[in-house]
Structure 1
Amino acid sequence: MTSTENEKGDSPMSLNDEVRAPQRASDQQDYHATSSEQITAEVLAAISSTTGTRAGEILSAVIRHAHDLAREVRLQPDELLAAAEFLRRCGDISDAARHEYILLSDVLGLTMVVDTEAAGVADGALETSALGPFYRAGAPWEPNGANISRGTDDGEPAKIHGRVLDTDGTPISDAVLDVWSTNARGLYENIDPTQPDYNLRGRFRTDANGSYDLWTVKPVSYPIPDDGPVGELLHLTGRHNMRPAHFHVIASAPGYQTIVTELFTDDDPYLDSDVVFGVKPSLVVHYNRIEGPARLAAAGRTEPYWDLRYDFILTPGQTTTVEFSTGRHQNH
């Protein structure tokens, strides 16, 4: 028998075919445990094809900040699953008339950060505030002087008037004011089937002097919906769910920045604790009470009302369109 054959006549065995011993623990120690930073680098590398695009810029920043957040607070698997479940429930409770994700963005202050950063308005010009989840596009066009209170018992009458001006004081004609507010019960018409369609909503154009004039009702403070995940978040953090009284406006004109904003009444107790952080000092306004026979007669009125004069000062720039719109709740 040759040296390459075994005694049982099996096929020859190469000299290189040696039986390998099991890997030793000392060999395994040559491999270092994967770090979370390595995973972040791999994820960023996986989306490298989006480099140079706006989507890539946003997505890579989201990944980096989310991963850093997980490391900073040592986020646990069950906590991540709880967050995913929270977001799922936000989707479940949302419908055409209610957008829980926007509400979530509002109560976390993210909406106001984004709006303020995006606007960059000049000092003294109209500042932004929250659009909110109740804006409904397509409000009726109304002539100056019209009353957008189309329901019954909507609230105390209020006249809002003034001008739309450039930053140098020049009147802006044909500027558009898209306005909306709640009734005296703190309800927007799209979530209250007892109100007429588009109640307390309207669109107005300024005249040749940049003037506008409309009738509505004096705003009241109201609670945002707290029967869903956002309400649970507010309860967890010990916060109330109240918004101070305000009047919504989208002010626009060709050649000027479109500004989404709110005017807040100065006599409201929630001015310093708005649940969505929308209050800015320049947006706090004072309504004057008009009463007494002589003053009412001069205004052609017989019942007391509130009067607000406010000039909207627009910043030159690009006119944009508000893409979001809620729907009207349907009774089934």
Structure 2
Amino acid sequence: MTAVQDSPTARGAGANASANFKAASTASAADLADTPPERVAAIVTAVLKGVHEAIKEYDVNYAEFNAAKAWLMEVGEGGEWPLFMDVFVEHAVEEQVASSQKGTKGSILGPYYQPDQVKLGATCKLPRRDDEVGTPLVLEGQVRDIDGTPLAGSEVDIWHADSDGYYSGFAPHVPDGNLRGVVVTDEEGRFAIDTIQPAPYMIPHDGPTGQLIEASGWHPWRPAHLHIQVRAEGHRTVTTQLYFAGGEYLDSDVAEATKPELVLDPQDDGTGVRRSTYDFELERG
């Protein structure tokens, strides 16, 4: 990544991610109202049991316990819970939910989603700066029901980092809406999206989440990927990420969100444009 002076801070990214989450979701603690108390108690007990067992297994002392308390407070005060949860927890929830679903493999939403982006035609060019740098990339494909029926008018909501690893809405030097759009498929459910290939990026690591990563001897990198959410009336929404064959960090993603089924292998078409095809299958629901 370049232009370090323009890197988003963990606090700033956390604030944006929190605002976007609240705008896109009605989720709250009140959602537990329909969950039986026995289920809440069982889940909380299991989580606490795991913590208690780790304390016993590793003979945790008071200095380490107090450091953990201070770290948890810093995560909350810095607004980093969306970042922490999306990087370290969401992939496990996504895998569990996906185990009972059919259709295209999903992946995590991540903290950089922004709702209500510009709608584009089936064959389109994602909004970008006039001087946008990066290898041209065209992603084309079809959205279908799992029985093979094309889903006309379905939406392919796509967003990704630029060639330096920065997301619009989170990096101060990148214009709002850059490399984001909602593509509406044609009468055969097809789409062709003209964009650029993104770069790997570091999750914001100047806050407590980064401190945890550094203290654990991990790296803060995610492999290059396209975020995609596919929606069609009467069907289950698929949220996923598409990666690139041979990409750096593909086998060591800090968010543990990569899957073999989601790896593209774009090929140069002879004009300097890399092209790849990926079809999406949505389950009725």
TM-score range, shorter chain: 0.7 to 0.9
Letter in 2 for 1:101: W
User: Does the aligned pair in 1 maintain the 2:87–2:110 contact within 8 Å?
Assistant: no
User: Does the aligned pair in 2 maintain the 1:219–1:265 contact within 8 Å?
Assistant: no
Q: Kindly report structure 1 stretches of 4+ aligned residues shifted beyond 4 Å.
A: none
Aligned equivalents of 1:121 and 1:206: distance in 2?
27
Aligned equivalents of 1:192 and 1:75: distance in 2?
38
1:136 aligns with 2:114: yes
Q: CA deviation at 1:62?
A: 3.2
- The aligned residue for residue 141 of structure 2 is 162
- The aligned residue for residue 75 of structure 2 is 90
- The aligned residue for residue 309 of structure 1 is 277
1:86 partner SS: helix
TM-score, L = length of structure 1: 0.69
Number of residue pairs aligned between Structure 1 and Structure 2: 250
Q: How big is each residue's C-alpha offset from its partner over 1:35-63, in whole Å with a ceiling of 9 and x where there is no partner?
A: xxxxxxxxxxxxxxx96455444334334
User: Does the aligned pair in 1 maintain the 2:142–2:189 contact within 8 Å?
Assistant: yes
Question: Which of the two has greater strand per residue?
Answer: 2
- The aligned residue for residue 104 of structure 2 is 126
1:88 partner SS: helix
Q: CA deviation at 1:266?
A: 0.7
1:164 partner SS: strand
- The aligned residue for residue 211 of structure 1 is 190
Unaligned runs of 5+ in 1: 1-49, 95-99, 293-303, 318-332
1:273 partner SS: coil
**Identity percentage over the alignment?**
34
- The aligned residue for residue 104 of structure 1 is 84
- The aligned residue for residue 62 of structure 1 is 47
1:76 aligns with 2:61: yes
1:232 is aligned, of 193, 204, 211, to 211
Unaligned runs of 5+ in 2: 1-34
Q: Which structure exhibits the higher relative contact order, with contacts defined as CA atoms closer than 8 Å and separated by 6 or more residues?
A: 2
C-alpha distance 121-215 of structure 1, shift in aligned 2 (>3 A) = farther
Q: How big is each residue's C-alpha offset from its partner over 1:287-311, in whole Å with a ceiling of 9 and x where there is no partner?
A: 111224xxxxxxxxxxx32212110
1:148 aligns with 2:126: yes
Q: How does 1:264-279 map to 2 (within 5 A)?
A: 264-279=243-258
1:225 partner SS: coil
Aligned equivalents of 2:276 and 2:94: distance in 1?
25
User: Does the aligned pair in 2 maintain the 1:271–1:279 contact within 8 Å?
Assistant: yes
2:71 partner SS: helix
User: Does the aligned pair in 2 maintain the 1:159–1:213 contact within 8 Å?
Assistant: yes
